[in-house]
């Protein structure tokens, strides 16, 4: 983010947030991220009972505690912007809970792949969206993002399981495809109801037209990254 | 804890822990507490899906995060004492998971009462045991203890539910009795296998005789406190 001598960086956030439509989009975005992090926390912990041992459950619990800390940072920022964090996040619960209900892992490996895929798509999305945000909001999103991806446990365990039984790769590849499909379905459900959020995600402002080619572009970039990641993991997606 | 001029408090922990039997008891105690805190964390989070709304789930998640932090403190102390925290805690998993499996709440109110009762019995037990410990271990147990009891949410919600429907009190009173019964059953199972721990809990040393009257005294004190607490909550236990 370049700053010319005439523009004080401390003024930028105020200027951007003075636009009520931009502000509405940002608040919706923070609510979506906060609710997503909270459900990721709850689900990681609940699904860790599938782990083969206590060591893995302890590792998952630390990753989950990081998601909860993100959720609390996001709630604090929402409150700073004058919105009610709980009411705002609650609005995203139905779509996000539908996603989790449709992707309840059947075993530990599916749980690991879900944690990894979810974390990675979230990270890609955060990075993409951060480019469209005012500096203060972008910094918060980047901070949350930097702590994601502590999922080395996934890479080790999934590669080990495939080495032990190569048939596992096919099953998990299908699972990875299903996770992306369900995520895109719920993203569409959310987008249909949240115009300020969609305009913010696509253009960084409310006034620009929300044309479909851009949405397809974003979806395409997230999908390509997802496919490349699953391939790197030994899953031909 | 009184210290005479001849006894340096900094020497006491080393002296007590130099006794291998005392040390074994302390390590077992820390493993039990660590495993208990970890399962409390996992169960609080999993059972929070019973909550009527997101606000309550967020409150429960903060209480749970505190339990996880305790577990990590306890693990660090176990490692300092030269034992493997994960292996040690894993030894207590069967009895503690049996407790949780036998006390899966059917609804949000049962979940709240379980969180409150579990937290309170743990606090009473910690306070009782701290008197028998070397200062360094006692300080850690007291610190963990000081953060327990952040369960005001329980008092408010349970009293509100009883006011709205007095029949709730009878059902929750039965539930409270069952929680204590299952806890005592598992405490007996653990005690049967952990002689160093039992001697530490009852006497603070390995060499004193583990006579039954003392165990009955401890159980009696924990039970009386439990009954008084349920009565204060409006549940005639």
Asked if residues A128 and A203 have their Cβ atoms less than 8 Å apart, the reply is: no
Chain A hits for B57, CB-CB cut-off 8 Å, are: 38, 42
pTM above 0.90, yes or no: no
- Pick the residue of A38, A52, A61 with the most B CBs within 10 A to test the interface with B by mutation: A61
Q: Is the dihedral of CA B112, B115, B118, B124 positive or negative?
A: negative
Residue A2: band (very low, low, confident or very high) from pLDDT cuts 50, 70, 90: very low
Smallest CA-to-CA distance from B93 within B35, B22, B142 is with B35
User: Residues A25-80: pLDDT tens digits?
Assistant: 999 999 999 999 999 999 999 999 899 999 999 999 998 999 999 999 999 999 99
Q: Is A76 on the interface with B (CB under 8 A)?
A: no
CA of A237 vs chain B CAs: smallest distance (Å): 31
Which chain B residues contact residue A48 at CB under 8 A? Answer: 42
pLDDT band at residue A212, thresholds of 50, 70 and 90? low
Judge contact between B61 and A72, C-beta under 8 A. no
Alpha-carbon distance B194 to B202, whole Å?
12
Q: Are B62 and B123 in contact (CB under 8 A)?
A: no
Tell whether A92 lies on the interface with B, counting CB pairs under 8 A: no
Q: Stretch A209-228: mean pLDDT, rounded? A: 78
At residue A118, the pLDDT reads 86
Residue B2: its pLDDT value, please?
Answer: 44
Predicted pLDDT at A233:
85
State the Cα–Cα distance between residues A177 and A230, nearest whole angstrom: 9
Is B68 within 8 Å of chain A by CB? Answer: yes
Using CA atoms, how far residue A69 sits from A40, A73, A143, B127, B165, in Å, is 12, 6, 11, 30, 37
Give me the half-sphere count of Cα atoms (radius 13 Å) on the Cβ side of residue B124: 18
User: Which DSSP symbol is given to B158?
Assistant: H
Q: Which has the higher per-residue pLDDT, A88 or A154?
A: A88
Residue with tokens 């790197």: A232
At A150 the pLDDT is 61
pLDDT of residue B131: 80
Nearest to A65 among B55, B65, B90 (CB): B65
Residue A152: pLDDT over 60: yes
Q: Identify all chain B residues contacting A55, using CB atoms and an 8 Å cutoff.
A: 86
Q: What is the mean pLDDT of each run of 10 residues along chain B (237 residues)?
A: 43 68 91 94 92 93 92 94 96 95 94 89 84 85 74 81 92 93 90 86 60 73 90 79
In our burial notation (b when 16+ CB lie closer than 10 A, e otherwise), range A197-229 reads bbbbbbbbebeeeeeeeebeebeeebbebbbeb
pLDDT for B164: 93
Taking chain A, what is the end-to-end CA distance rounded to the nearest angstrom? 36
Among B31, B39, B42, most A C-beta atoms within 10 A, so best to mutate, is B42
Q: Which residue has the higher pLDDT, B98 or A206?
A: B98
pLDDT reported for residue B8: 43
CA dihedral of A36, A40, A41, A42, whole degrees rounded to 10: 100
B65 inside 8 A of chain A by CB: yes
Residue B144 near residue B74 (C-beta atoms within 8 A): yes
What residue of B is the nearest CA neighbor of A94? B54
Beta carbon pairs, A and B, within 8 Å: 55
């Amino acid at each position: 983010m370049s700053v010319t001598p005439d523009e004080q960086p401390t003024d930028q956030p105020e200027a951007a947030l003075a636009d009520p439509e931009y502000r509405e989009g940002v608040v919706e975005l923070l609510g979506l991220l906060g609710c997503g992090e909270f459900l990721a926390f709850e689900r990681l912990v609940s699904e860790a009972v599938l782990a083969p041992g206590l060591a893995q459950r302890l590792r998952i619990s630390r990753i989950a505690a990081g998601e909860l800390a993100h959720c609390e940072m996001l709630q604090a920022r929402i409150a700073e912007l004058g919105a009610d964090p709980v009411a705002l996040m609650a609005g995203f619960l139905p779509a996000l809970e539908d996603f989790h209900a449709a992707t309840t892992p059947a075993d530990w490996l599916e749980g690991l792949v879900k944690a990894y895929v979810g974390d990675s798509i979230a990270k890609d999305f955060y990075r993409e969206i951060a480019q469209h945000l005012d500096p203060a909001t972008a910094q918060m999103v980047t901070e949350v993002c930097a702590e994601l991806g502590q999922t080395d446990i996934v890479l080790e365990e999934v590669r080990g399981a495939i080495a032990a039984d190569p048939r596992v790769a096919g099953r998990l590849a299908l699972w990875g495809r299903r996770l992306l499909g369900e995520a895109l379905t719920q993203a569409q459900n959310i987008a249909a109801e949240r115009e300020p959020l969609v305009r913010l995600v696509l253009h960084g402002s409310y006034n620009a037209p929300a044309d479909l080619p851009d949405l397809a572009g974003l979806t395409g970039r997230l999908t390509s990254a997802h496919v490349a990641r699953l391939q790197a993991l030994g899953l031909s997606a």
